[in-house]
Amino acid sequence: MAFQSGSPFRSGVLVAAGVLCLTGCSHKDPVDTTLGWMQHMRGGVIASQRPPPPGIYDPYPHVGLTPTTTPDMPSPQARALITQQMIRDRNLMYRTVAANGTLMPEIPPPPGAAAAPKPAATPQAGNGSGTTTTQPATLPEGTAGAIMDAADAPPPQPATPTAAADKLSKPALPSTSAPSTGGLFGADKKKDAGKGETEVAMPEIGMPDVKTTAQTPPTPASAIPQIAAGPPAPPSFPGFNIPSDAYLPDAVRPNYDLSDAKGTAIHCVPQSDQISSGQDDTFAKLVTKTPHGPFYVRGFGSAASLDAQAQADAVQLGLLRAQNIAKKLIDLKVPASAIHIRGDAFGMGARIATTP
C-alpha cells in the first residue's frame, strides 16, 4: 500500500515525531514544566529568569597565583602582651559587674497597696459547695442617669432680688410630671428642660493679647548671683563623720611632653610591633645619608588611658617597635653600637632621628 505525499496519516506521523523530539530536547520533568507555567501566569519578578552568579564565565584560578608572602604578624612578645591586656580587661569586667550588682533591682510595691482593704467575700448564690466569690462593686440603679443629667444641665443662674421675691410670694405647686427613672443618659429630663428654658450664651474664653510695646525692666546687679571664689564647704550632719579626704586636692597629673617628636616617621601595624610594608625606601635613604649613624629610635605605644598599668604596657610595646626598627637598620649594615632605642607611652608608630 503506497502513501501519498499529502496524506493525513503522514502528516500526523511527522507531527508526533516532532513533538517527541522537542520533548527529548527540553530536559524538563513534569515538575519543572508545571512550575514554569505557574511563574508565567503569576508574572512579575518571579516570572523572569534568575541572573547568573558573578564570575560564572571566568576561568578557573591557578594555584600559582596564591599569596606567597608571609602576612605581618606581631611577635610572640607582642602577642603575649595583648593576651595579658585582654585578661586584665576581662577580670575588671567581672569585678565591675559584681560591685554594681544586677541591672534589674527588686521594685517594692506602692505604699498604698498594702494598706488598701480587700473587698468582702460574699457567698455565690445558688452554689451549694460553700465556695465564696468576690463581687465587683456596682452603683445603685438610676445613679448613672442622675450623674449624666447633672453633667448635661446648664449652669445655675445667679439669683436676683426680683426673682427671689417672686419665689417667696408664690406657693410651691406639686410637680405633675412623672418622676424620672434615670433612662438612657437622662433623655426625659433633657426634653423637659428644653421646653421651658433657653440656653444661656457663655462668654468666649481666649488667651490675652500680646502687647509688643511692653518693656522688660533691667535686672538689678543685686539679683545676679555671684560666683564663689572656691568650692563650697562640705555639708556636716550631726552623727556623721566627714571623710578624711574631703579637703584633699586633686591628684597632680604628670607633666607630659606634648611637643612633636623629631625625626623620620615610621608607621607600624596598629596594636603590633611589626613595621608596615612599603617603607624600604625610607630606610635606604636614612642609611645612605648616614651609613655609620648614630640613629636614635623612639617607639610609641599608643596609650589611651592614664592608668599606670596601661602606660607600662604602652612603653613595653614602644620598646618592641624600636627593637624591630633597630634590627632593620642592622640588616642594612648599620653598627649596633650606633643605634639607641627608647620607648614612650603616648604616640603613634616610631621616629628615627640622627640627634638625641
- What distance in Å separates the CA atoms of residue 82 and residue 270, rounded to the nearest whole number? 12
The pair phi, psi for residue 146, each rounded to 5°, is: -65, -35
Tell me how crowded residue 146 is: count the other CB atoms within 10 A of its CB.
15
Q: Determine the average pLDDT of the residues in 327-334.
A: 93
Which pLDDT belongs to residue 323?
Answer: 95
Closest C-alpha among 322, 351, 309 to residue 81: 309
DSSP string, 35-86: HHHHHHHH-GGGGSPPPPPTTTTSPPPPGGGS--SPP----HHHHHHHHHHH
**pLDDT of 89 over the 70 cut:** yes
Which pLDDT belongs to residue 53?
Answer: 86
Amino acid at 274: Q
Residue 292 cell numbers, joined: 655609620
Query: Which of 29-33, 165-169, 217-221 shows the lowest mean pLDDT across its residues?
Result: 165-169
Tell me how crowded residue 324 is: count the other CB atoms within 10 A of its CB.
21
Q: Determine the average pLDDT of the residues in 182-202.
A: 53
Which pLDDT belongs to residue 81?
Answer: 92
**pLDDT of 114 over the 80 cut:** no
Bridge partner list, 122: 133
Is residue 254 within 8 Å of 311, Cβ to Cβ? no
Residue 58 cell numbers, joined: 571566568
pLDDT single digits (tens) 262-303: 899 999 998 899 999 999 999 999 999 998 889 999 999 988
Residue 107 cell numbers, joined: 521594685
Largest Cα span, the chain = 137
Residue reference for cell 648599620: 334
Total-model pTM: 0.41
Closest C-alpha among 141, 140, 152 to residue 185: 152
Report, in angstroms and rounded to the nearest whole number, the Rg of the chain calculated over CA atoms. Answer: 49
Q: Determine the average pLDDT of the residues in 220-232.
A: 82
Pairing of strands 295-300, 350-353: antiparallel
- What distance in Å separates the CA atoms of residue 134 and residue 218, rounded to the nearest whole number? 67
